[in-house]
Structure 1
Amino acid sequence: MSMPVLIACSHGTRSERGAAAVTALVDAVRDASGLEVVPTWVDVQEPALPEVAAWLGDRPAVVVPLLLSAGYHVHHDIAGVVARRPAHAAAAPLGPHAAVIDVLVSRLHDEGLAPDEVVVLGASASSDPRALADLRATAHDLSLRLDREVALGHVGHCGTPLAEVVTSVRRPGRRVLVASHLLAPGHFHDALGRTGADVVTAPLLDERTPDERLVRLVLERYDQARARELATAV
């Protein structure tokens, strides 16, 4: 039996740097696994997920959301497409997950994080309470890893504005570092830099070779969904 196609579904961006960074992750997943990996997007870029699903037809496939929380795109866009295709399954999004925390910590250490400095998790806004719960869980896990309180702030039209959070946590003589909880460069990452923080870390993907921990995470989500489908079929 051939392995299901891995449909790598990301948000989409108008940023050339962001698009290139996500493409590099998709290519790295393909190279590491030997699977057939097909990229798709829920917004901005094409081909859109419904087109890719229709093109694959009845071939078994697993949609892996290259998204960091389970919001509208996961529960509506992706779930809706998969529900109409019995041979297709949906994996969990990439976050929350320990691998995401690992990369966030690495990005903070890239910026020389000191023990007494203040860290805020900066994320794109969402009106979906399930996405907000995921973001709060990530902030909590990062707090535990760093052994300090990590507040959560948002850029966008929902949630507590990141600029307000940065102002509220500032202490004399201490840098405020925003840990970018964004997959790749683009509009929202640029917005993090306008919130008054002393430092904004690089997103999880940038011009560097994709972190192996993220590559393994994508494949872990694929394997989990595939195992769940096999168990259901028994």
Structure 2
Amino acid sequence: MTAPALVALAHGSRDPRSAATITALVDEAKAQRPDLRIERAFLERSKPGFQTVVDKLVRAGYDEIVVVPLLLIEAFHARVDVPAMIAEATERHPGLKIQATPVLGLEACFLEVLDQRLRVALKEARVRELDALVLAAAGTSDPLANQAVARLARVWGTHHKLPVTAAYATSAPPATGEAVRAFRGEGRRHIAVGSLFLAPGTLLDRATELALEAGAVAVSEPLGAHPEVARIILARYAVGAVELVPV
């Protein structure tokens, strides 16, 4: 019996670096599970689109698909766009079963990845001392999702025994520059920013620019194609595949 195919469904971006990063992340998942059929797809702005990938898998003989949304927060895309796309696909392909898993979310293990990325940034900037942290995320109009980022920021700050503020690139205050300036107003001068983004893009570029203009000493790269992120994708898939099994 063939295992369900895995579709890693990312947001998409006009920035080619984003699609390249998602491709590298999916390649890492494939390396960890070479027995699985794993495809990448995008909600918007990048190709291939979700329906194109579903059609491809159906032609290849797959009648079960597990969709893992590569999103860090449970917001509009996860609640509305993903179910709508799945409904369209199953309507076009009678007999096809598609199971969407929860989003990647804000796993505590992602803080370890964040630390690795930040250590590289600090080394490149020759920074040896920190007295505050900012956790930069995309942000959303959903206050509960933003609160989840703020909770993760507190966990991160507690781990490092440093004050920390969550900042958002869109939809909610503070922006990264505002967060950095607030810490500088308290007399702190060695403030680093961790990028809680999956891939590079316009939002992260702007957040980085604002942070550095405000006096941040370093800004990390996004989580990217890290083995730990790929492991979470596969863990989500495993649960979704079980849910496809008839009771």
Aligned twin of 1:40: 41
**Residue aligning to 1:108:** 118
- Cα 1:163/1:65, change in 2 over 3 Å: same
- Residue identity matched to 1:144: T
The higher radius of gyration belongs to 2
Aligned residues: 228
- CA offset at residue 54 of structure 1? 4.9
Q: Which runs of 5+ in 1 are unaligned?
A: none
Q: Secondary structure at the match of 1:88?
A: strand
Alignment root-mean-square deviation, CA: 2.2
Per-residue CA distance 1:136-179 (angstroms, 9 max, x = gap): 23213322322333211111243432221111122446311110
Q: Aligned partner of 1:65: which letter?
A: P
C-alpha distance in structure 2 between counterparts of 1:25 and 1:61, whole Å: 19
Structure 1 segment 184-195 matched on structure 2, within 5 A: 184-195=199-210
Whole-Å separation in 1 of the counterparts to 2:188 and 2:149: 28
2:148 aligns to what? Answer: 134
Q: 1:172 to 1:100 in 2, by over 3 A?
A: same
Q: Which residue is equivalent to 1:29?
A: 29
Partner of residue 236, structure 2: 221
Deviation at 1:39, TM superposition (A): 1.1
The code of the aligned residue for 1:93 comes to: V
Q: What runs of 5+ residues in structure 2 fail to find an aligned partner?
A: 91-95
Cα pair 2:176 2:208 within 8 Å, conserved? no
CA distance, structure 2, for counterparts of residue 221 and residue 148 of structure 1: 32
Partner deviation per Cα, 1:7-61 (whole Å, 9 max, x = no partner): 0111112222222111111112122212111111111012322443455457111
The 1:142/1:88 distance shift into structure 2, 3 A limit, reads same
Within a 5 Å distance, the mapping from 1:85-100 to structure 2 comes to 85=90, 87-100=97-110
**Distance in 1 of aligned mates of 2:21 and 2:220:** 16
Counterpart contact for 1:175–1:198, Cα < 8 Å: yes
Structure 1 residue matching 2:66: 3-state secondary structure: strand
Q: Please give the alpha-carbon distance, in whole angstroms, between the structure 1 residues aligned to 2:87 and 2:52.
A: 15
SS in 2 for 1:194: helix
Q: Which residue of 2 aligns with 1:63?
A: 67
What is the CA deviation profile of residues 190-227 of structure 1, one whole-angstrom value per residue up to 9, with x for unaligned ones? 1122222221111111xxxx321111111111112223
For the residues of structure 2 that align with 1:185 and 1:13, how far apart are their CA atoms? Answer: 9
Say whether the 8 Å CA contact 1:118–1:176 is kept in structure 2. Answer: yes
Counterpart pick for 2:194 among 170, 179, 184:
179
Q: Does 1:200 align with 2:219?
A: yes
Code of the aligned partner of 1:89: Q
